Amino acid sequence: MSKVLTKEFDWLVAEQVEVDQELVWQLKTDLLPTAGWNSGWIQPTADVGFFYNETYFDLAGLSMREKTLFFNGATTQDLRNPIVFQQAAGDSLTIMDVLTSSPMNSSQILAYSIYGNYASGSQSAPSFDQTIYSRLREYVIDIDTQAWGSFRLFADHQHGSLSSTASDRIYVYRMVFVGTPFVGNRIDIPPVRYVLSADAKTEDEYQYLMRLARSYELQNQPDIDVI
């Protein structure tokens, strides 16, 4: 049984304002009633240009039928490149999209944004096997486009295992990091859609039970704060 699964995050809109003679980043709250902008976005550290959003694919219907999900592919679909106001050459930002079979808390999200799922990183973050798909894109305003108001894609990195799972959830995270220093006074990050293509199949009972036990362990592991 082939399936195509999708999830979406809406616009993120943030502005850089001066408070007590210091420039700080804030979610633009007056746009909340507009088409769901900033819906679900979190700024874990006040005034810092780091934002994230989270959701999950609900696979409970498949797990109840003792199905294992075998992934064929994953991708992200964006409306357009990020937008910036009052920009200058050198302004930059990074966007990371992550789909995992194990949940992350805010400290693990931050650790993953630095180390990814590589061996040198924090052991509390998802491993290669637990990372179904991850994509990191770097954007910049350069001299040729500084009057344009739209970021230019500078680099695109992807990794992940597409490992099959018997879990009843696939966790989805989007992270946005604003570069420092940053001259622009507002960023608009367009919506994104995550697309997973997978086959739901029945495995041998022993193999399925082992995979199910592993999925349960990953979803219920204790939170470990990153120091």
227 domain residue, yes or no: no
Report whether 82 contacts 187 (CB < 8 A): yes
Residue 190 counted as domain residue: yes
Q: Is residue 226 part of a domain?
A: no
- Starting at the earlier edge strand, list the strands of the sheet with 169-178: 50-58, 169-178, 92-100, 131-140, 152-159
Domains held by the chain: number:
1
The predicted-structure confidence for 15-45, as pLDDT tens digits, reads as follows: 999 998 899 999 987 766 666 788 999 999 9
Most confident of 65-79, 83-97, 107-121, 137-151: 83-97
* Tokens of residue 139, six digits: 């954007």
- C-alpha–C-alpha distance, residues 138 and 50, integer Å: 14
Indicate whether 94 belongs to any domain. Answer: yes
* pLDDT, tens digit, 9 for 90 and up, residues 156-215: 999 999 988 877 889 999 999 999 999 999 999 999 999 999 888 775 454 544 544 555
Domain membership of residue 160 (yes or no) is yes
Q: Is the dihedral of CA 124, 96, 106, 166 positive or negative?
A: negative
The structure tokens 């973050």 sit at: 125
The answer to whether the beta carbons of residues 84 and 182 sit under 8 Å apart is no
Q: Which domain holds residue 89?
A: 2-219
What amino acid occupies position 107?
Answer: S
Does 224 map to a domain?
no
108 found inside a domain: yes
DSSP-assigned states of every residue in 120-153: TS-TTS--TTTEEEEEEEEEE--GGGTTT-B-EE
In a domain, 90, yes or no: yes
